[in-house]
Structure 1
């Protein structure tokens, strides 16, 4: 791409990278798709993060050495990719140019910073749970007020040595005042989006659901009911299960504040 424009884009990206401060950035695909959808064989770990990077900025020639990214490694990644194309506007594929790539990277970095604020990750009992939410827009409520629709994706990765079955989930939704705006009790028979998936060791199950909030922000936290399978027989009601916490994550309209209601 033309050198002055390349320098301007690189400088803009490096300024954005500085906002990371002392934190780290895990790459994510923004939640989308219909509420209630699921994937029983989702990518996990580094494979998932690299797929998220390719989705956001196709055709990068230099990829991260390690993930998640800190400010230094993110800055090095930006500089390395811009050095390759600073002297011309190369066509990458299907008319997609390095100029397009630079602007895509600028948009993607802003979105990834937002998704980082709307995510949580934890591992307990050998079960890793990653959640990311995203504001989808405003819509009218039955009360006549304006509501805010959020989509969230829950990813469950089995780090145990045997298969597990995810039986159900419970949610607490708290608004900006600290009031409980929504509650779903944990019941091992209530399933997740109608599913009680069996997750083999090292595999990931993910599903998408959503909430409609009365104000532009809130917090969700929850629990999963999980059992480790003995052989191939699925869980039966009355048998033992254990609880895995879902760490709190924000429901947040970009550059806004507020409260919450709803759940799924």
Structure 2
């Protein structure tokens, strides 16, 4: 990734207790993603590729066009934020992946989504 094609991805996960059913091994998480173009060339997000891993080692692979039905176009300095979700069979897991971007100069490049943890909140006694 060059400085002209520099996309920064940040994630903030949340546990959704009211949609979860631990007795049925159903743990629902939401996450807010912020995508910022820190490069010098406008770029559009074309595709997503996620690896979602639960604490049993089960991996879900998700590929698709855009995010939440959109393919955001980001000029230098612009950001795009969206919220989505994942369902795990365990109370802890991880997500990571990449977005395929297309720059105005005709380059396709990947913006890495750093691994983040999905975890139910811990209760202190």
TM-score, normalisation: structure 2: 0.84
- Report deviation, 1:240: 4.8
Match of 2:62 in 1: 184
- Report deviation, 1:161: 1.0
| Higher relative contact order (CA closer than 8 Å, sequence separation 6+) | 2
Q: Which runs of 5+ in 1 are unaligned?
A: 1-123, 231-238, 257-264
Distance 1:184 1:229 in 2: 26
Distance 1:139 1:179 in 2: 18
**Structure 1 ranges of 4+ moved more than 2 A:** 138-141
Which of 48, 62, 74 is matched with 1:199 structurally? Answer: 74
More displaced 10-residue stretch of structure 1: 170-179 or 205-214: 170-179
TM-score, normalisation: structure 1: 0.42
State the Cα deviation string for residues 194-235 of structure 1 (Å, max 9, x = none).
1011111111101110011112110001110111114xxxxx
User: Which structure features the higher share of strand residues?
Assistant: 2
1:161 maps to 2:40:
yes
Q: CA RMSD in A?
A: 2.2
Q: Which has the larger radius of gyration?
A: 1
SS of corresponding position for 1:201: coil
Which of 130, 136, 142 is matched with 2:10 structurally? Answer: 130
Distance 1:139 1:206 in 2: 24
Which of 107, 117, 120 is matched with 1:250 structurally? Answer: 117
Q: Which runs of 5+ in 2 are unaligned?
A: none
SS of corresponding position for 2:14: strand
Which of 39, 46, 52 is matched with 1:173 structurally? Answer: 52
Change over 3 Å in CA distance of 1:204–1:193 after alignment to 2: same
Match of 1:220 in 2: 95
Distance 1:225 1:170 in 2: 8
- Report deviation, 1:140: 4.3
Does the CA contact (< 8 Å) of 2:56 and 2:90 recur in 1?
Answer: no
Distance 2:58 2:16 in 1: 23
User: Which structure features the higher share of helix residues?
Assistant: 1
